[in-house]
Structure 1
Amino acid sequence: MTTIASTEPLTTALLRFATAGSVDDGKSTLVGRLLHDSKSVLADQMEAVERASAGRGQDTPDLALLTDGLRAEREQGITIDVAYRYFATPTRRFILADTPGHVQYTRNMVTGASTADLTVILVDARNGVVEQTRRHAAIAALLRVPHVALAVNKMDLVGHRESVFAAIAEEFTAYATDLGIPEITAIPISALAGDNVVEPSAHMDWYSGPTVLEHLETVPVAHDASPRHARLPVQYVIRPQTAEHPDYRGYAGQIAAGSFRVGEPVTILPSGRTTRISGIDLLGRPVDTAWSRQSVTVLLEDDLDVARGDLIVPTGDAPATTQDIEATVCHVADQPLTVGHRVLLKHGTRTVKAIVEDIPSRLSLDDLSQRPHPARLDANDIARVRIRTAAPLPVDPYATSRRTGSFILIDPGDGTTLTAGMIGDSFTTPAPPQDETPDDGWDF
Structure 2
Amino acid sequence: MVHPTKIRTSISLSSAVEINTTSALANHAIEAATEEMVQTFQPELQVDIKAKISALVSEVATSSTADRSKMSYCTDLDKSVLISNFEKRGWSQAGPDDDWNTKQSLCSLLTINHFPNHYELSRKDLLVKNIKRYRKELEREKDPLAERGDAPGKYIYLDFIPVTFVLPADYNMFVEEYRKSPQSTWIMKPCGKSQGAGIFLINKLSKLKRWSRESKTPFNPTLVKESYVISRYIENPLLIGGKKFDLRMYVLVTSFRPLKAYLFKLGFCRFCTVKYDTSIQELDNLYVHLTNVSVQKHGGEYNCMHGGKLSVQNLRLFLEGTRGKQVTDNLFSNICWLIVHSLKAVAPVMANDRHCFECYGYDIIIDNGLKPWLVEVNASPSLTSTTVNDRILKYKLIDNIISVVLPPDGIPDSHCLAKTGAIIQDFDVEHQDVKE
Normalization by structure 2: what TM-score?
0.24
Where is the helix percentage greater, Structure 1 or Structure 2? 2
Where is the strand percentage greater, Structure 1 or Structure 2? 1
| Relative contact order higher in (CA < 8 Å, ≥ 6 apart) | 2
